[in-house]
């Protein structure tokens, strides 16, 4: 049980960082914080590039960033619960995983 589920099942996990979209929105919000609210800006919505003002775009970015953070934290909680469930199942049924590096 010393290795985590992520280490035992590397194909299950993407190498990309799931927090990247949240960081992108945060960096855009930081940039727009010092920008005039009436300034023209562009946003990609559903594959369509739309022209808006900074004041129109900010609320959408904030809600998107907050939504992503909520989803990521929910997925992290579900992952931890499943990892505990797997460990309990392995303990209950005396399942021991063979280290793939051992021969």
pLDDT at residue 55, as a whole number: 95
- The domain ranges of the chain are 5-92
Rounded Cα gap, residues 65 and 23, in angstroms:
8
Contact 2, 81 (CB under 8 A): no
Q: Average pLDDT over the chain, rounded to whole?
A: 82
Least confident segment among 8-12, 42-46, 85-89, 93-97: 8-12
Q: Where are any strands of DSSP class E within 1-103? A: 40-45, 48-53
| 70 — pLDDT class (breaks 50, 70, 90) | very high
How far, in Å, are 8, 86, 98 from residue 101 at the CA level? 11, 22, 9
Domain 5-92 carries which CATH code?
1.10.287.370
Instruction: Kindly report, residue by residue over 18-68, the tens digit of the pLDDT.
Output: 666 667 888 889 999 999 999 999 988 899 999 999 999 999 999 989 998
pTM, full prediction:
0.64
């Amino acid at each position: 049980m010393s290795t985590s589920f992520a280490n035992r099942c590397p194909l299950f996990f993407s190498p990309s960082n799931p927090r990247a979209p949240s960081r992108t929105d945060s960096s855009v919000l930081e940039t727009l914080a010092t920008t005039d609210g009436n300034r023209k800006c562009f946003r990609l919505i559903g594959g369509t590039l739309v022209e808006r003002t900074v004041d129109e775009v900010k609320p959408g970015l904030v809600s998107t960033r907050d939504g992503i953070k909520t989803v990521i934290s929910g997925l992290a909680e579900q992952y931890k619960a499943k990892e505990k469930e797997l460990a309990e199942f392995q303990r209950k049924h005396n399942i021991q995983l063979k280290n793939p590096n051992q021969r």
